A and B are shown apart, each in its own frame.
Chain A
Amino acid sequence: MNQTDFVRQMPGQSADLARRVSIWQRVHIDPILLLLLLTLTVFGLVVLYSAGNQNSAILVRQGRFLLIAYIGMIVIAQFNLERIRRLAPLAYVVGVLLLIAVPLVGVGAKGAQRWLSLGGFRFQPSEVMKLVVPMAAAWYFSSRALPPRFKYILVSLVMIAVPTVLIARQPDLGTSILIAASGLFVLFLSGIGWRFIFGAVALALCSAWPMWQFVLLDYQRTRILTLLNPESDKLGAGWNIIQSKTAIGSGGWDGKGWTNGTQSQLDFLPESHTDFIIAVLAEEWGLKGVLVLLGIYVAIILRGLWIGVNAQHSFGRLLAGSITLTFFVYVFVNMGMVSGLLPVVGVPLPLVSQGGTSLVTLLAGFGLLMAISTEKRIIGQ
């Protein structure tokens, strides 16, 4: 099929044609997105310093990971989008094979087996899949007319389901939700009919009970029950939620001041520098701080959606939308679970929580966004 698209422009897009190639476009960097990300990560480091009980070692570690992640982002941004698109199916196959390998030769931690050890370097295949799955789905739809036909939808669902189920069985509910979401966003943005969407929602609701009964593991069920009634197990599973709600609530509007949060500084708050870091922010910076953080997140999401809308090919469009919306899912699930709105699943607060792998994956995703946003305009050459 002729890849030189028959271009019809959307109203108001004609300015693009005349735009000259800026310095940012030449170095493949989206300056607005970069500025927002830098603001977010610096803010994140400030919060992390307090959450880690003013331990500068944690800060240095996180800083080093950030540096690696930013370099990775810029490197990925340089890639030709078409080359990425062609690499997507291969990456998908390799990723799924690695996921299958995890339970066979993987390394465990805290009752879950998520790690692969390659020559002393440990990494989580599931993290890579957060980018590979939307890429593969976008690749699949990019060569087909949209909205996709039913059989394509089914094929893509299978593509999404395989890694999702493999990861859920590790078990890693948080990551599998993110991966399923990233794939489903591609489907949604590709324009599948509303009847499929409503049908799927209805099916999901009907399958809730069998899921509860047969699919969810004991500890996952406990988490959901704990969400509904944290007081039922004050010192056990409910402890985290009670303490994080107490931290958030006691912060008020102004907060207790940086490094002055009693819940976080006196160790009442568990996982204060990883998944529950938003509670530290809420306690020490108050609702003010929470709103500022949300503001930055919203700006990043808007910028990501803008990049998607302006992308030239359907691959870039679908991928950009999916990455951006997955980023939103991170934010929503994390802030929701810490505040007791959602069950506790292992989803970090993106770009703020301590953890090198998620930083690298997230910024790699933004590297893809930058590659999409700075893609050479066909018209105008």
Chain B
Amino acid sequence: MSNQISLKDTYTERRIYFARTIVVGLFVVALLSLLVVRYFSLQITEHDIYVTQSDRNRVQLQPVPPKRGLIYDRNGVLLAENRPSYSLTIVKEHVDDIGETITLLQHLIEIDDDHIKKFQRLLTRRRPHAAVPLKLKLTEEEIAIVSVNRYRLPGVDVDAQLARHYPQGELFTHVLGYVGRISEKEQFEIDEVNYSGTNEIGKIGLEQFYEKELHGEVGSQNVETNARGRVLRVLERSDPEPGQDITLHIDAYVQKVAHEALGDYRGSVVAIDPKTGGIIAMVSTPSFDANMFVGGISSKNYNALLNSPDRPLVNRSLQGQYAPGSTVKPIFGLAGLHYGVVTTESVVRDPGWYLLPGDKSKRRYRDWTWKTRRTGHAKFVAMEQAIAESCDTYFYDLAHQLGIDRMHDFSKPFGFGSKVGIDNTNERSGLLPSREWKRRYKRLPWYPGETINAGIGQGYLLVTPLQLATGIAALANRGVHFSPRLLKSKNGEEIPVPQLPKIEVDDRHWDFIHHAMSEVVHGARGSAKAISRGAKYKMGGKTGTAQVIGIAQDAEYDADKISARHRDNALFVGFAPLENPKIVVAAILENGEKSSRAAQIVRKVFDAYLIDQQMLDDTAADDSVVDKNVADRNDLNSRQSVAMSR
């Protein structure tokens, strides 16, 4: 066959074609085998790896935050609860352009620049797959708008959470404290796993003190998500262990009465059950609504609280340190009897002033109560009259005879000079002076005149209202006393109050002091006899007025105000009923001037507890009282009652 002509040779062509088909067929088989090997290695050999990867794709472990424990008063009135709150969250990982998303959201709902700034800050700290809140406390309308536009907003979600709520508003702020966003500092201290689903933590007060009990244990759930991170279903779940519900010794009704009784005064009322050490009421005014702090307080509101001259952020019951004035006289009187430096019969000459024996300067220590009677309480004054009428001269002499160290040693077990150990935060220790203390901290010797001042509760001596109430409770309960406690039970289980060592004093002395204190209220010339009017029970008490020291900080205020803040603090301590004390109350009114004002408040608290709350066993409460009580209690339970009439 010639190449030039190149005839078509069908037979040869077919043969070549057949051969080429075989070759290409083999090639096809080889490549197909390669595919089979590839799919075999992916699907069989490396199957486990890809199953894990596929599960990791779709399944995500999410923390389930525990429900924070509720807080009740002794009668089951709700003081702190959790309410559903909706927040707008963004998951960085699922958003292409955060800025664009925020702009779009701003068109839909109102978002402050403040929120955006806070959000940006959080965004840099959180991991990209975590949901970062942009706006809290969404309204129903905002939730609806976001939901409708969800398809345009990948990575944006409305998150339902429980947020703390204090239905009683400002009434319990200084008892409960509040919760707030976990700060950067706290982030290091907490168990990161347990708090992985939690946004808020107890910042102060009971909420902080019982944080561990209230918080509970975190749970978890495996959820299936799609590629855009939307949760499709829950695969498995281990439930969180909710925080414990706690019940307080506090009686919300008594608290409310005490709060209202304080009115516009700055001050504190602390009421303790001397038999148990349980705190019935603990009020500090002015107060503020703790709900402001939940979910973050605005800087404007916070500065207003911080800079107010009335110092609403200070819990006066625990942090306020005041000169107790004459309210400590019964304790020093008891010390005199106990150490035998005086008897109930011994008298002191009272010309209206006191001269320190051997003092060459002949300085007269005035009886501050001289305004009522310039020539003193009587020619000769014994202890009963000295307590009932609050005679300073008698106690100047008694203090001189006791000496500061015995006064210190005797008073210390009553709880002065050190923290009484309440289950709350920021308690201060007050100051119970002694020679030792002055040498160590002031590097000065003790002067006899300072003892004289201490005898009437002035000078270095400082107490908190809580200490004063605790001390008087020990006195009322004849030396058997406790570390005062707010917590009554956890999850229904009673928690005993820690008992302190008994103060051993002869029974006759306790009787005598109780009698003298009853004369303060029920005696014809008692310094607080006004409050005995119409009382269905007998009570013991002691008035006090104390000079205000440390006023320099107020110097820049106008003249009227300065003088107002120079006025004496008014104090009253009391217990009732006299024979079987069930409640001890200490009240302090800053610049209240007249101790009778404090006494009136204490009487109201007694009535609220003993009569209205029927704690007086032998009182057959008449129906009208019961009705009022029920009405008030209902009022407390309904959340509208938060706003106090001031």
Contacts and interface: CB of A to CB of B under 8 A. Distances in A.
Contacts of A291: 36
Given A8-B10, A250-B51, A188 B20 contact: yes
Given A332-B35, A341-B38, A325 B28 contact: yes
Given A268-B58, A287-B40, A291-B36, A6 B18 contact: no
Contacts of A189: 17, 20-21, 24
Nearest to B225: A266
A266 B24 contact: no
Contact of A145 (B8, B11, B57, B225): B8
B8 A5 contact: yes
A236 interface: no
Contacts of B36: 291, 294
B46 A267 contact: no
A282 B47 contact: no
B51 A252 contact: yes
* Most-contacted residue by chain A among B38, B42, B46, B226 (CB, 10 A): B42
A339 B35 contact: yes
A149 interface: yes
B44 interface: yes
A249 B226 contact: no
A249 B8 contact: no
A225 interface: no
B31 interface: yes
Contacts of B43: 248-249, 251-253, 282, 286-287, 290
Interface centre among B7, B13, B28, B43, by most A CB within 10 Å? Answer: B43
Contact of A191 (B20, B28, B232): B20
Interface string B2-46: 000011111111111110110011001001101110111011101
B10 A336 contact: no
Q: Mostly helix, strand, loop or mixed at chain B's interface?
A: helix
B269 to A, nearest CB: 62
B44 to A, nearest CB: 6
B39 A339 contact: yes
B75 interface: no
A332 B31 contact: yes
A328 interface: yes
A250 B50 CA distance: 5
B502 interface: no
A245 B42 contact: yes
B298 interface: no
B10 A5 contact: yes
A301 interface: yes
A161 B283 CA distance: 94
A7 B12 CA distance: 11
B53 interface: yes
Given A263-B54, A305-B21, A328-B28, A314 B13 contact: yes
A222 interface: no
A24 B16 CA distance: 29
Contact of B54 (A149, A247, A325): A247
Contact of A188 (B24, B34, B51): B24
A309 B21 contact: yes
A335 interface: yes
B227 interface: yes
A191 B16 contact: yes
B43 to A, nearest CB: 4
A309 B16 contact: no
Contacts of B57: 243, 246, 262-263, 266, 268
Interface in A306-327: 308-309, 314, 317-318, 321, 325
Main secondary structure of the interface of A (DSSP, over half): helix
B309 to A, nearest CB: 57
A23 interface: no
Given A245-B50, A249-B49, A298-B32, A339 B38 contact: yes
Contact of B17 (A5, A8, A191, A328): A191
B224 interface: yes
Nearest to A250: B54
B228 interface: yes
A145 B18 CA distance: 16
A1 B6 CA distance: 11
B50 A249 contact: yes
Given A246-B50, A249-B43, A341-B34, A308 B21 contact: yes
A89 interface: no
A336 B30 CA distance: 13
A306 B32 CA distance: 18
Contacts of A314: 8, 10, 13, 17
B6 A144 contact: yes
A147 B8 CA distance: 10
Nearest to A261: B54
Contacts of A146: 8, 12-13, 16
Given A10-B18, A267-B226, A314-B13, A287 B44 contact: yes
Q: Max chain B CB contacts within 10 Å: which of A249, A251, A282, A298? A: A249
A140 B9 CA distance: 16
Contacts of A308: 17, 21
Given A189-B17, A251-B43, A328-B28, A266 B50 contact: no
B610 to A, nearest CB: 67
Given A145-B7, A268-B58, A298-B32, A321 B51 contact: no
Contact of A266 (B11, B46, B58): B58
A246 B42 CA distance: 8
Interface in A263-316: 263, 266-268, 282, 286-287, 290-291, 294, 298, 301, 305, 308-309, 314
A246 B53 contact: yes
Given A7-B10, A336-B35, A253 B44 contact: yes
Interface in B297-343: none
A94 B244 CA distance: 84
A118 to B, nearest CB: 36
A340 B10 CA distance: 43
Interface of B: 6-18, 20-21, 24-25, 28, 31-32, 34-36, 38-40, 42-44, 46-47, 49-51, 53-55, 57-58, 224-228, 232
5 contacts: A146-B12, A249-B42, A252-B47, A263-B54, A317-B17
